[in-house]
A and B are shown apart, each in its own frame.
Chain A
Amino acid sequence: MVDFFKKLPEQAVRIIVVFLVLAVVLLVIRQFIIPPEIKDPAVQKLASTQREAAKGIKYAGAEACAQCHDKEPEIKKSGYHRDLSCESCHGASQKHVDNPTEVKPTSPIKRDYCVYCHQYSASRPTGFPQINPDTHNPRKPCISCHNPHNPKPPTAPRSCNACHAQIERAKSASYHALIECSVCHATPEKHKTSPRTVIPTKPDKREFCGQCHDKGSPRKGVPTVDMGAHGEKYVCWQCHYPHTLGGI
């Protein structure tokens, strides 16, 4: 080792010494100055686990509710709110579980709570029950008509736009504005109470649109095409969206 250094030119040895000193300084800092919890992820994880574990428990979980309350969970099981946890509406309830008589969980009875989910918003999925709170029975608490544990409309919606407001708005500005939804979609009455299990039909044959849009159709003032040559094997709505302006 000493021979190796002797063979190297003097300046190279100096450089090597400088780098060795730097490396030792860095190692010393890492070893003795940097606290262990910064160096070791395991220590960090343990510390954060302990920190989190030390925090009090706030939510009890739906199982804890079902231990005392028989009726509500049973009703909820078959209703549309079956996937909601009790505490989604009633708030964090661990304190109530610990001390059932003194501490009572909250119950949202005002209108402003339900609209978090049920106010009309274009981004909600089609078929999700949505209302306009300004026009839908204003000032009346939702729970006076709907049972929150098994919410069902007390009466079936009168028209399609109760749920499909977005489509209705688009259609009202299109050439198909005056055509009733039921002309194209055969809608079983049960769709109004079970919207996801009983689904209306869509026109599945080209001839359906051809009734008005075929060259030989008796209707006047409607754009017509030769159904034999136009679009061949496709159903019309695969290319033309019938609800928007112009239908293209």
Chain B
Amino acid sequence: MEAVQRFTELSKQVMGFIYPNEIDIQWSILIVVYPYITGLVAGAFILASLVKVFNVKELQPTYRLAMLTALAFMLIAPLPLQLHLGRPERSYEMFMTPNLTSAMAMFGFVYLWYLMLVLLLEIYFEYRRDMIVWSSETTGLRKWLLKLLSLFSTDISEKAVAFDKKTVKVITIIGIPSAFLLHGYVGFIFGSIKANPWWSSVMMPVVFLFSAIVSGIAMVMLLYMIVKPLLGGKIDMKCLDKVASFLFYAVIVDFSIEVLDFIHRLYESEESIKILSQLVSTKLFMSLVVLQILLGMLLPLFVLAIIKIFKLQEEVRKLLYFVCGLLIQLGIFSTRWNVVIGGQLFSKSFRGLTTYKMEMMGIEGFLVALVLLIIPFVILSILIKLLPPWKKEELTGN
């Protein structure tokens, strides 16, 4: 009965002609959350790699925070998919019975590789020495937790620490293509759906990747500005300016690639162009034109350029960076929304548009999505408690 009511309600909002199976869309807000979260992982890791591989010394204060952010979001990344599919307890079977021809099944392996062989290993080697030292200084549960996390390792000789440093560098070098693979893969899934002209584009993995880098850098910048003062430290303006300038370049590249994709579609002008322009100018106008392009991309780009050109005061810069970070998060979330939901709003007959009515309470609803977006921050706060990103000397400024 509820389904019938839902159907009649939706059918009133359908424009033009659509096939019967297109009225109710299948990939909901959870599938929007998933690429957003994996994007943050990949972006945060790329920022961390700037320190270790490209030796950008100014960014050092964000390195550990970026790694912990990547881990916190990585642990939650598969959850939206598992909840959407409805049988999370079966998901380990994809590792046990690998299906090598399914791109979706391959995600499991990309995820496992990235989590186990890149993030966890790198954090282990990065923190190993500190974990041993901290565990000797504290007592109780924290002591044993740190001992367990350091795998009961005890060697803090110079030789061992040098080995750790070298390994971290090697892992980061392997990690960069892995991070590209992780998020490029998400774009690949959408880009390879031939029947859907909104998705089917070879540009998709690249667009996803660069928007991931943008969102990850912006997220670490926001967290740095919130967490460091909360822990009693002072924001290092040199570091913040450098993060912001990398963010500025990343937004420029991301914007150019998206514009290129847009022009390419217009120039190709395939049979779908009419329905897609209708889609953009009606159903996606708010989320694509206003939120994604104007507020999420052009406005931050403009503000960051202003900061670069005029020498603004420290406090003003901080405020503007913070606002830009928030706007970019909003913009990238809208990007994911426009890809996932937008791609399902038009009929494959190219003659009509349906509508998406988000649930509030159900497993595919708004509240679950909100919880999924909050959990990584809870995990991150626990990680920061257990493995502080800054040493006491760094916080006090000595």
Using a CB–CB cutoff of 8 Å, the interface residues on chain A facing chain B are 9-12, 14-15, 18-19, 22, 26, 29-30, 34, 38-39
Q: Bound state CA distance, A39 and B152, in angstroms?
A: 37
**Looking at the complex, which of B72-80, B155-163, B284-292, B308-316 is the stretch in contact with chain A?**
B155-163
Within 8 A of A (CB), among B42-91: none
Taking CB atoms, residues of chain A closer than 8 Å to B95 are 26
Check A14/B93 contact, CB under 8 A, given A9-B159, A9-B160, A9-B163. Answer: no
Pairwise interchain contact A34-B93, C-beta atoms closer than 8 A: yes
The yes or no answer to B390 lying at the interface (CB within 8 A) is no
Taking CB atoms, residues of chain B closer than 8 Å to A19 are 116
Closest to B128 in A: A11
Q: Bound state CA distance, A204 and B154, in angstroms?
A: 94
Cβ contacts A to B, 25 pairs, < 8 Å: A9-B155, A9-B159, A9-B163, A10-B153, A10-B154, A10-B160, A11-B124, A11-B128, A11-B153, A11-B155, A11-B163, A11-B164, A12-B163, A12-B167, A14-B151, A15-B121, A15-B151, A18-B151, A22-B116, A30-B97, A34-B93, A34-B97, A38-B93, A38-B96, A38-B97
**Nearest CB in chain A: distance from B86 CB, A:** 18
Pairwise interchain contact A11-B125, C-beta atoms closer than 8 A: yes
Q: How many residues of B contact A (CB 8 A)?
A: 20
Taking CB atoms, residues of chain B closer than 8 Å to A14 are 151-153
Taking CB atoms, residues of chain A closer than 8 Å to B153 are 10-11, 14
Using a CB–CB cutoff of 8 Å, the interface residues on chain B facing chain A are 92-93, 95-97, 116, 121, 124-125, 128, 151-155, 159-160, 163-164, 167
SS class, residues of chain A in contact with chain B = helix
Taking CB atoms, residues of chain B closer than 8 Å to A22 are 116
Closest to B155 in A: A10
Pairwise interchain contact B160-A11, C-beta atoms closer than 8 A: yes
Taking CB atoms, residues of chain B closer than 8 Å to A30 are 96-97
**Nearest CB in chain A: distance from B9 CB, A:** 29
> Which residue, of A15, A26, A29, A38, has the highest number of chain B Cβ atoms within 10 A?
A15
Q: Bound state CA distance, A164 and B286, in angstroms?
A: 46
User: Which 4 pairs, one residue from A and one from B, show the smallest C-beta to C-beta distance?
Assistant: A14-B151, A10-B155, A9-B163, A11-B153
CB within 8 A of A11: which of B92, B116, B151?
B151
**Nearest CB in chain B: distance from A24 CB, A:** 14
Q: Bound state CA distance, A14 and B160, in angstroms?
A: 13
CB within 8 A of A29: which of B96, B121, B151, B154?
B96
Closest to A31 in B: B96
Q: Bound state CA distance, A169 and B334, in angstroms?
A: 46
Q: Bound state CA distance, A30 and B94, in angstroms?
A: 11
Closest to B162 in A: A9
Taking CB atoms, residues of chain A closer than 8 Å to B93 are 34, 38
**Nearest CB in chain B: distance from A18 CB, A:** 6
**Nearest CB in chain B: distance from A192 CB, A:** 35
Taking CB atoms, residues of chain B closer than 8 Å to A10 are 153-155, 160
CB within 8 A of B96: which of A11, A12, A15, A34?
A34
Taking CB atoms, residues of chain B closer than 8 Å to A29 are 92, 96
> Which residue, of A9, A14, A18, A34, has the highest number of chain B Cβ atoms within 10 A?
A9
Taking CB atoms, residues of chain A closer than 8 Å to B97 are 30, 34, 38-39
Q: Bound state CA distance, A26 and B160, in angstroms?
A: 30
**Nearest CB in chain B: distance from A38 CB, A:** 6
Closest to A8 in B: B163
With A11-B124, A11-B155, A39-B96 already in contact, 12 other A-B pairs whose C-beta atoms are closer than 8 Å: A9-B160, A10-B154, A10-B160, A11-B128, A11-B151, A11-B160, A12-B167, A19-B116, A26-B96, A29-B96, A38-B93, A38-B96
**Nearest CB in chain A: distance from B156 CB, A:** 10
**Nearest CB in chain B: distance from A4 CB, A:** 15
Taking CB atoms, residues of chain A closer than 8 Å to B96 are 26, 29-30, 34, 38-39
Pairwise interchain contact A15-B124, C-beta atoms closer than 8 A: yes
